[in-house]
Chain A
Amino acid sequence: MTWDRFKKTLNVITMTFEVEMRQNLTDGFVIFGILLQPLIIAFMALWMLKEKGPDYSIFIVVGSGMTGLWTTLLFNGGNSITGERWNGTLEPLVGSPSSLRVIVFGKVLANISQSLLSMIVCYSFISLVIGYPLIVANPLLFFISLIFSVFAYVCFGLVIASLFILIRDIGRMINTLEFPVYILCGFLFPIAMLPGWTTPLSYVLSPYWAAQALHGSASGSATTGQIISYWGLLLGFSVAYLILSRSLYRVILYKARVDASLDTEG
């Protein structure tokens, strides 16, 4: 990729990020989803954990934050493609010289960042209000883990969103993915509690490694070496998803143009 091409790609991601954020922040339902709902969840979770130790509460806080990210990725990320189709803007996007993969990257990044920001603000606010300390054992490792996790989520979202391009009503089918991933990735409890045969499934999902890195660095239960190895795995999966998405978008966009599924009509 040339420098000029890289600059253009970055511009498309930045502008798409801005457009997605602006659109979401003017939508009453999304405002409820990113502000009020996390506030309610955060309040209930921290209130229930008042009697438990800080180690356990940070596990739940990080875990519930990750469930929020996954839900956002699945619904907002994927449904933004469905939204574009209903708006009639999917065709102008596909018909523009920019790669749809780059546009979707910007959209998913905006949705994930928004969700993450709302979670952090909500938990900090509520913990301050009820006077309950949230202690992160290794703040630096946690912060870096967060960056790797967001990148991994966005790359994973890129693959999932491609299915929304191909199949008009995939939204209803993809609903079923919400809870299995919470469980398989160990967001709220360790996967050791699950039957042995599910473990390989957990290992191929990048959110599992994100959960390991974030839980490990927040509670201090993992060594620095272990956390670095999780980063490596997160990066490896992210690159694999990026490479996969390159071919996937080429094939899926061709198929969508054959099947006439870029618009709600036709």
Chain B
Amino acid sequence: MNAIEVNDLKRIYKTTIGLIRRKIKEVVAVDGISFNVQDGELFGLLGPNGAGKTTTVKMLTTLLIPTGGSASIQGLDVVKDADKLRPRIGFIYGGERGLYWRLSGLDNLRYFSTLYYVDPDVAKKRIPELIEMVGLTGREKEKVEGYSRGMRQRLHIARALLHDPQVLFLDEPTIGLDPIGAREIRTAVLNLQSAKKTILLTTHYMFEADALCQRIAVINQGKIVALDTPEKLKQTVSDLSVVEIEIFGIPPEYIEKIHKLDFVDSVAIENHDQRQVMLIHTPIGPEAIPILVEQLSGLKLGKIVSRQPTLEDAYVRLVGGAE
């Protein structure tokens, strides 16, 4: 059975420009997307910044009214049945906001358990369990303002689980965390999945989506450009190889020149301080290297490798190197 059903969902933001002759500018954030998430599934929404991931989650968590289309969770419409739906879902948004910093972690949980109508006897038992689950035991009486970013993220997860919802929305839960903090959150997400929760996770980290999600929808400029299992998404680039060239300072015209070569499928640049890595997707594999080196003559080149594509490469191909 489907826990989440999304049909042709659309959201347009309107802003005004100018002072005297004010013009309304429309920005299409989500452009007619459709997908279903099954009961107990961990479903990923993967896309670059500004792709429409958070807007989608906000519509599904009843915080934004869609401009068009429809969505339902456990059979309840996100607009018409918002009041009935809210006790059944839990959500967290990435980042540090959304908590009372001048209160302790424990007081934050006590307050939200009241707002979610959790029976006081149940809350007394559940709050310490959740504190332990997210690894905040011993720090729960300290003010949130003294917590690290990772601790705040984990407190967010505890908050979202107070009323034991069956469906969870996790919007970029590891954003801005150090590698250890991010790994702890990913472990917590996997534990939730083994507890049979339905989870919709948004992220722009490919490895995270690959490691956690059973199915992934790749979203770009408000549209779903691919939806499948991580393995099948990787297969979409199985006909290609990836050539990685380390370059120390690359002018834009060189990127354009490489892109125009007839054996090049797509080009993406990764910036690492003083150096860049050019990722070239090509069906001819290592044979492309001499031609590429010739085209880049005059630039200071470093390591050059040819490898098999990963989910990240599939993603880059799908979103056209938008990141």
Residues in A lying within 8 Å of B, measured CB to CB: 8, 11-12, 15-16, 19, 22-23, 26-27, 87-89, 91-98, 103, 254, 257-258, 260, 262, 266
Q: How far is the CB of B31 from chain A (nearest CB, A)?
A: 16
Q: How far is the CB of B134 from chain A (nearest CB, A)?
A: 17
Given the known A-B contacts A19-B103, A257-B63, are A96 and B98 also in contact in the complex, defined by CB atoms under 8 Å? Answer: no
Residue from A19, A23, A88 in contact with B97 in the complex, judged by beta carbons closer than 8 Å = A88
Q: How far is the CB of A11 from chain B (nearest CB, A)?
A: 5
B103 touches A96 (CB 8 A): no
Taking the complex as formed, is B110 at the interface, i.e. its CB lies under 8 A from any CB of chain A? yes
**A/B interface sample: 19 pairs, CB < 8 A:** A15-B110, A19-B100, A26-B143, A27-B102, A88-B93, A89-B98, A91-B98, A93-B115, A95-B86, A95-B91, A96-B115, A97-B86, A98-B116, A98-B117, A257-B65, A260-B13, A260-B58, A262-B63, A266-B64
In whole angstroms, what is the CA distance A98 to B55 when docked? 23
Q: In the complex, which residues 114-158 of chain B have their Cβ closer than 8 Å to any Cβ of chain A?
A: 114-117, 120, 143
Residue from B54, B91, B95, B116 in contact with A97 in the complex, judged by beta carbons closer than 8 Å = B116
In whole angstroms, what is the CA distance A258 to B112 when docked? 25
Q: How far is the CB of A251 from chain B (nearest CB, A)?
A: 13
Known contacts A15-B115, A87-B100, then 16 further A-B pairs from the complex at CB < 8 Å, ordered by chain A residue: A8-B117, A12-B114, A23-B100, A23-B102, A27-B102, A88-B98, A89-B98, A93-B115, A95-B63, A95-B91, A96-B112, A96-B115, A98-B117, A103-B115, A266-B58, A266-B64
In whole angstroms, what is the CA distance A91 to B61 when docked? 10
* Chain B residue contacts of A27, Cβ below 8 A: 102
Q: In the complex, which residues 197-211 of chain B have their Cβ closer than 8 Å to any Cβ of chain A?
A: none
B107 touches A19 (CB 8 A): yes
B101 touches A95 (CB 8 A): no
Given the known A-B contacts A8-B117, A12-B115, A22-B102, are A94 and B110 also in contact in the complex, defined by CB atoms under 8 Å? Answer: no
* Chain A residue contacts of B93, Cβ below 8 A: 88, 91
A19 touches B111 (CB 8 A): yes
B86 touches A266 (CB 8 A): no
Q: How far is the CB of B111 from chain A (nearest CB, A)?
A: 5
Chain B's interface: helix, strand, loop or mixed, by majority? mixed
Taking the complex as formed, is B193 at the interface, i.e. its CB lies under 8 A from any CB of chain A? no
A260 touches B114 (CB 8 A): no
* Chain B residue contacts of A103, Cβ below 8 A: 115
B64 touches A92 (CB 8 A): no
A98 touches B101 (CB 8 A): no
Q: Give the contact-size bracket for chain B.
A: 20 to 34
In whole angstroms, what is the CA distance A87 to B107 when docked? 16
In whole angstroms, what is the CA distance A216 to B61 when docked? 51
Q: How far is the CB of B156 from chain A (nearest CB, A)?
A: 9
Given the known A-B contacts A15-B110, A22-B107, A27-B102, are A96 and B116 also in contact in the complex, defined by CB atoms under 8 Å? Answer: yes
Q: In the complex, which residues 60-106 of chain B have their Cβ closer than 8 Å to any Cβ of chain A?
A: 61-65, 83, 86-87, 91, 93, 95, 97-103
Q: How far is the CB of B218 from chain A (nearest CB, A)?
A: 22
Given the known A-B contacts A19-B107, A87-B97, are A97 and B87 also in contact in the complex, defined by CB atoms under 8 Å? Answer: yes
In whole angstroms, what is the CA distance A98 to B91 when docked? 15
Q: How far is the CB of B169 from chain A (nearest CB, A)?
A: 10
Given the known A-B contacts A22-B103, A266-B13, are A254 and B117 also in contact in the complex, defined by CB atoms under 8 Å? Answer: no
* Chain A residue contacts of B117, Cβ below 8 A: 8, 97-98
A-B interface, 4 closest residue pairs, ranked by CB to CB distance from nearest: A88-B97, A96-B115, A15-B114, A88-B98
In whole angstroms, what is the CA distance A16 to B111 when docked? 7
In whole angstroms, what is the CA distance A89 to B112 when docked? 11
In whole angstroms, what is the CA distance A95 to B87 when docked? 9
The chain B residue with its CB closest to the CB of A258 is: B65
User: Interface readout for B279-315 with A: 1 if CB under 8 Å, 0 if not?
Assistant: 0000000000000000000000000000000000000
Given the known A-B contacts A12-B115, A103-B115, are A95 and B103 also in contact in the complex, defined by CB atoms under 8 Å? Answer: no
Q: How far is the CB of A247 from chain B (nearest CB, A)?
A: 15
Q: How far is the CB of B44 from chain A (nearest CB, A)?
A: 22
B112 touches A266 (CB 8 A): no
* Chain B residue contacts of A89, Cβ below 8 A: 97-100
The chain A residue with its CB closest to the CB of B96 is: A88
In whole angstroms, what is the CA distance A266 to B117 when docked? 29
The chain A residue with its CB closest to the CB of B169 is: A95
Q: How far is the CB of B133 from chain A (nearest CB, A)?
A: 19
A96 touches B86 (CB 8 A): yes
